[in-house]
Structure 1
Amino acid sequence: MSLVTLLPFIVLIGAMFLMTRSAKKKQQQAVDMRNQMQPGSGVRTIGGMYATVKEVNDDTVLLDAGPGVELLFAKNSIGAVLTDDEYNRIVHGIEHDLKSDSDIVPDDASSLTGTDASADDADASGDKSVDLGKKDADDTPADEPTADATSAEAKTDEQAKKSDGGSEAK
């Protein structure tokens, strides 16, 4: 037998070895994650339920899924142990306060340019702020066109008739 005939078998065995090695590594990481669970941790089960760990045993976990709801799960049914911020964001809708972690963005650009001009100085120099807000709902209902829109549509209809009127004039 030559080396050329054995090469596909060697490659196949090598691929199988690499796949099983990565699968074992993922399983070990999952076991380590489940062993690090402590009471009070937020978790997600493999079924997609979010709960708080109340008690951890050798093979089981007691979860608190809400007021008066305690569920006993197998330890290997825990899909992920969540950080406190992630658990609060998903379950309670509480967003993490980003202002404490990052720089504050100023409302005006004067502090970014290096000049010490304040907003009061800008108003005194004649710069007016532009109102980019929406008009009040009382001014114009959304389903009724304004008078300007109606007259503009009438003008475009008249111009279209005039341009088409060339064929009628003949």
Structure 2
Amino acid sequence: MSLVTLLPFIVLIGAMFLMTRSAKKKQQQAAQMRDEMQPGSGVRTIGGMYATVKEVNEDTVLLDAGPGVDLLFAKNAIGAVLSDDEYNRIVHGVEHDLKADGAHVPDDASSLTGTDEPAGASEDKPLDLTKDAADEPAADLTKSDEAEPKKTDGGSEAK
């Protein structure tokens, strides 16, 4: 047999080796994540249920899914152990505190201008809402638009 005949088999065996190695690595990471689970951690099961770990045993986990609701799951049924911030955001709707990061979002725009008075309350120049002569040409443009024939949406008149 020549090398050309054996080449497809060698490539196939190499691909199978790489795929099983990748799958084994993912399984080891999942097992390590489940072993590091501690009471009080927020978790998501493979079914999509969010709960708090109450007790960890060798092959099982006791989860607190709500007031008075304790559920016993196999460790393999835990899909992910969540960080405290992520768990609180998903389950309780609590966003991460932005003030802890040093970012500040103002409640109104007056704090952005550096003055304490609200916008439009300046006493230097009163706001004039009367119609000026500068508005006249704009009115003429709308009249000329009305004189042109209107376009239709393709009704019986357009045929």
Q: TM exceeds 0.5?
A: yes
Distance in structure 2 (CA, Å) of the matches to 1:73 and 1:20:
27
CA distances 1:1-26 after superposition (whole Å, capped 9, x unpaired) = 11111111111100100000000000
Distance in structure 1 (CA, Å) of the matches to 2:105 and 2:66:
39
Structure 2: 5+ residue stretches without partners: 127-138, 151-159
Match of 1:27 in 2: 27
Match of 1:159 in 2: 147
The answer on 1:119 being equivalent to 2:115 is yes
The alpha-carbon deviation at position 72 of structure 1 amounts to 0.5
Q: Is 2:98–2:104's contact at 8 Å kept on the other side of the alignment?
A: no
Percent of pairs identical after alignment? 77
Q: Is 2:60–2:75's contact at 8 Å kept on the other side of the alignment?
A: yes
Distance in structure 2 (CA, Å) of the matches to 1:156 and 1:62:
77
The alpha-carbon deviation at position 34 of structure 1 amounts to 0.3
Letter in 1 for 2:12: L
CA distances 1:99-129 after superposition (whole Å, capped 9, x unpaired) = 21244478537xxxxxxxx537xx98x699x
1:1-170 → structure 2 map (5 Å cutoff): 1-104=1-104, 107-108=111-112, 118-119=114-115, 155=143, 158-160=146-148
Q: Could you tell me the TM-score, scaled by structure 1's length? A: 0.65
Distance in structure 2 (CA, Å) of the matches to 1:161 and 1:5:
78
Structure 1: 5+ residue stretches without partners: 110-117, 129-150, 163-170
The alpha-carbon deviation at position 157 of structure 1 amounts to 7.8
| CA pair 7-93 structure 1, distance change in 2 beyond 3 A | same
The alpha-carbon deviation at position 43 of structure 1 amounts to 0.3
Distance in structure 1 (CA, Å) of the matches to 2:91 and 2:56:
21
**Number of corresponding residues:** 128
For the residue of structure 2 that corresponds to 1:52, the secondary structure is: strand
Distance in structure 2 (CA, Å) of the matches to 1:48 and 1:54:
18
Distance in structure 1 (CA, Å) of the matches to 2:149 and 2:39:
78
Question: RMSD over aligned Cα, in angstroms?
Answer: 3.1
Distance in structure 2 (CA, Å) of the matches to 1:105 and 1:55:
40
